[in-house]
Amino acid sequence: MTDLSIDLGFMKLKNPVIAASGTFGYGIEFTPFIDLNHLGGFVVKGLYYSPREGNPPPRLVETSSGLINAIGLQGIGVKRFSEEILPRLINYDTSIIINVCGEHEDEYAAVVDLLNQQPGIAAYELNISCPNVKKDGKCPALDPETTYSVVKLVKKSSTRPIITKLSPNVTDIAEIAFSAQEAGTDAVSLVNTFLAMAIDPNTRKPRLANILGGLSGPAIKPIALRMVYQAACRLKIPVIGIGGICTGRDALEFLIAGARAVEIGTANFIDPEATVKIIDELDNFCRERKIGKLETIIGTMK
Amino acid sequence: MKKANQVIITDRKMWKDYVLLSLKSPQIASKALPGQFIMIRITPYSYPLLRRPFSIHAVEGEDIAIFFQKSGIGTNILGMRKKGEILDILGPLGNGFGLKGDFSHKKTVLIGGGRGIAPLFFLANSLADRKAEVRTFYGGKTAHDLPLKEKFEAYGLKVFCSTEDGSIGYKGLITDYFNSEIRQFRPDRIFACGPDAMLKTIADIAAKENIPAELSLESIMGCGIGACWGCVKHLKKDGLTGLFRICQEGPVIPADQIIWAEKHK
């Protein structure tokens, strides 16, 4: 039996596999398909203080081995989540992470203030990197100073560990990641989606009503891996790798590059059991190579 | 736990652009309701990436069937998959047509536009089993777009066809044909599936005639299980107006709950 557990310092995970925000609903949606107790953790869909309608459809377009989405963070808001959904989640033996959103700094703090009073939450993932909220794809994670300022403020309000989710749409990911670390984040997760678009040549119309969206899926994996590697080289705090991971071998690439855990996103759409299968594949990989503790593989690129 | 299943393609029929695939799936065959859908993984690889939604066209013993038009990369590749090959499918998903209550001797009209005929064969047979009087209106651009006409007739189902070029049946739109027949046969219930413009016209006719109508909507779906929030459409439900997930609320939606996009007004 392999020891798949991971110690992030501020949080222990039973394994490094976390379902990524925006691809796993509020967790409840997956209970007909998998036992949530098997997961290292899951991040619920991004929550603003108020309910939010999101972007008009069409919101999705598939591209070569990738998916561009412009959902725009449609959601029920933190109050309804706390009252209706969270009580159904907290008895699962897994790390429940809440993705926290805000139109401005005060809203992030307000969401965190409300969640601080709720039981059963392991950490907050600070969403400063969604490309689908502002028309031009702008978000706080594009700038080191704005990143610093939001992280600092939320860290002050929060009674729980903070994971800051970073955008890949930057020149130097390590610089932004470093900024988040200096502001006191407990970990960073990267990458969010790549700002992207697609056009129908017949109609000359954009495929998405929002025109711009975020690209995810296997198409982005090599670039995401490069960014995770660059961030992990620079930081002292844990890096959580995200970007097109569909298999155990994909996850291993990120761990070897220096990620201490991984988030699984688009793969959840293709196979609701993807997370559980990836955990099994990690276990098999270790057993076949007589690796007793998966954690020992982290950052061991030769 | 619900699981995706590896199933074998037991039969394939092809017409110009259209494909009928039969899949051996006792689990889905025993549970499926007319109007529900399955998500199919086109290949085991990462291209095409996402599953595609297909309404269940028929249930025959342990087999289910899907019927589709080759229109994009996903459906073109799926159309190349042969009898004896394995497909990965997830389902049944979504809410089907409302079949509660007594249908015996009730007049029902089913209207299918092009590939939208797919779920109506399963529905027509279920309604016939419930002793309803069933008339199916089946429209397309040309005779090539009505490959299932004979199949309906072989099952003793009445089919009224239209083509835009007049190559078979009524010349014009299927909605015009239906509207011209409504005095002779006024249905108690309408069920339809097809392009949005067709469904919008049917919703208008149903509202004017005060006939309950249920429409199966098409939407680009990322997951089919309520996780991605990609397939939303504007609906009014329980006094609330907003963007609802078609995979969860539908794909079959009562016509009076649908808020149509500007281009269909």
Candidate from A32, A66, A71 with C-beta closest to B230: A71
Q: Are B71 and B132 in contact (CB under 8 A)?
A: no
Domain range for residue B81?
A: 5-93
Chain B residues in contact with A45 by the CB 8 A cut-off are 229
Residue-range domain boundaries for chain A: 6-55+71-194+215-297
B17: in domain: yes
B239: in domain: no
What pLDDT does B263 receive? Answer: 62
CB neighbour class for A38 (10 Å; exposed up to 12, middle 13-18, buried from 19): middle
Distance (Å) from the alpha carbon of A64 to chain B's nearest alpha carbon: 6
B189: in domain: yes
Distance (Å) from the alpha carbon of A34 to chain B's nearest alpha carbon: 7
Same-domain status, B129 and B204: yes
- Are A269 and B223 within 8 A, CB to CB? yes
pLDDT values of chain B reduced to their tens digit, one per residue, 265 residues = 888 999 999 999 999 999 999 999 999 999 999 999 999 999 999 999 999 999 999 999 999 999 999 999 999 999 999 999 999 999 999 999 999 999 999 999 999 999 999 999 999 999 999 999 999 999 999 999 999 999 999 999 999 999 999 999 999 999 999 999 999 999 999 999 999 999 999 999 999 999 999 999 999 999 999 999 999 999 999 888 999 999 999 999 999 999 998 765 4
CA B255 centroid distance within chain: 15
Same-domain status, B152 and B194: yes
* β-bridge mates for residue B52, sequence order: B40
Strand order through the sheet with B170-171: B170-171, B158-163, B133-140, B107-113, B189-193, B213-216, B252-254
Instruction: Name the CATH architecture for the domain at A6-55+71-194+215-297.
Output: Alpha-Beta Barrel (3.20)
**B176: helix, strand or coil:** helix
A220: nearest Cα among B182, B37, B138, B49: B49
Q: Does A65 touch chain B (CB under 8 A)?
A: yes
**B238: helix, strand or coil:** coil
d(CA A248, CA B113) in angstroms, rounded, equals 44
CATH of the domain at B32: 2.40.30.10
Residues of B with CB under 8 A from a CB of A: 1-4, 41, 46-51, 74, 90, 219-223, 225-233, 242-243
Low-confidence ranges of chain A (pLDDT < 70): none
Q: Does A32 touch chain B (CB under 8 A)?
A: yes
Same-domain status, B127 and B206: yes
Same-domain status, B23 and B88: yes
Considering its fold, how many domains does chain B have in total?
A: 2
**B103: helix, strand or coil:** coil
B146: in domain: yes
- Are B229 and A59 within 8 A, CB to CB? yes
Distance (Å) from the alpha carbon of A29 to chain B's nearest alpha carbon: 6
Residue of chain A whose alpha carbon sits nearest to that of B39: A270
Same-domain status, B89 and B112: no
- Are A65 and B47 within 8 A, CB to CB? yes
B64: in domain: yes
Same-domain status, B16 and B52: yes
B24: in domain: yes
Tokens of residue A110, six digits = 């307000």
Can you say whether the dihedral through the CA atoms of B197, B202, B203, B208 is positive or negative? Answer: positive
B68: in domain: yes
Where is the domain boundary, B33, B67, B93?
B93
Same-domain status, B131 and B43: no
Same-domain status, B111 and B212: yes
Mutate to test the interface with B, among A269, A273, A275, A276 (most CBs of B within 10 A): A269
Same-domain status, B111 and B26: no
Q: Does A37 touch chain B (CB under 8 A)?
A: no
What pLDDT does B265 receive? Answer: 47
Same-domain status, B151 and B207: yes
Q: Is A286 part of the annotated catalytic residue set?
A: no
**B115: helix, strand or coil:** helix
DSSP state of B254: E
Where is the domain boundary, B54, B71, B93?
B93
What pLDDT does A18 receive? Answer: 98
CATH of the domain at B144: 3.40.50.80
A77: nearest Cα among A89, A85, A69: A85
Distance (Å) from the alpha carbon of B193 to chain A's nearest alpha carbon: 19
- Are B1 and A33 within 8 A, CB to CB? yes
B225: in domain: no
- Are B225 and A62 within 8 A, CB to CB? no
d(CA B89, CA B40) in angstroms, rounded, equals 5
Q: What is the 3-state secondary structure (H, E, C) of chain A?
A: CCECCEECCCCEECCCEEECCCCCCCCHHHCCCCCHHHCCEEEEEEECCCCECCCCCCCEEEECCEEEECCCCCECHHHHHHHHHHHHHCCCCCEEEEEECCCCHHHHHHHHHHHHCCCCCCEEEEECCCCCCCCCCCCHHHCHHHHHHHHHHHHHHCCCCEEEECCCCCCCHHHHHHHHHHCCCCEEEECCCEEECCEECCCCEECCCCCCEEEECHHHHHHHHHHHHHHHHHCCCCEEEECCCCCHHHHHHHHHHCCCEEEECCHHHHCCCHHHHHHHHHHHHHHHCCCCEHHHHCCCCC
- Are B1 and A71 within 8 A, CB to CB? no
Tokens of residue A283, six digits = 């276990």
